[in-house]
Amino acid sequence: MKTQQLLERISVDPQICHGKPCIKGTRIPVFVILDALAAGMTDQEIIKEYPPVTEEDIRAALLYASLVTRQEEVPLPT
């Protein structure tokens, strides 16, 4: 799936989740998917926990995070 097609799976709407990026058509914020992956959940576990989410949505969340981190620095402990 191409970059633009993946990004179309993410939406930002001030009326949904206070404008946080979400999986399109849901109220599941991108950070929830990223937190689940960081906690060691597999794609299949995430899909089971959040049935509207697909493997493509998970890839879209990762791509979105990758693009966002290219644009700003996050202070990390040294």
CATH number of the domain encompassing residue 22: 1.10.10.10
Q: Which domain does 52 fall in, by range? A: 3-69
The count of domains in the chain is 1
The CA distance from 78 to 75, in Å, is 9
- Could you tell me if 15 and 1 are in contact, meaning their C-beta atoms sit under 8 angstroms apart? no
**Residue 74 domain flag:** no
Per-residue pLDDT at 74: 61
3-state secondary structure of 22: strand
What does the radius of gyration of the chain's CA atoms come to, in whole angstroms? Answer: 13
| Each residue's pLDDT expressed in tens, for the chain with a length of 78 residues | 798 899 999 999 999 999 999 999 999 999 999 999 999 999 999 999 999 999 999 999 999 999 998 887 766 666
3-state secondary structure of 23: strand
pTM given for the model: 0.88
The encoded tokens of residue 66 equal 């990758």
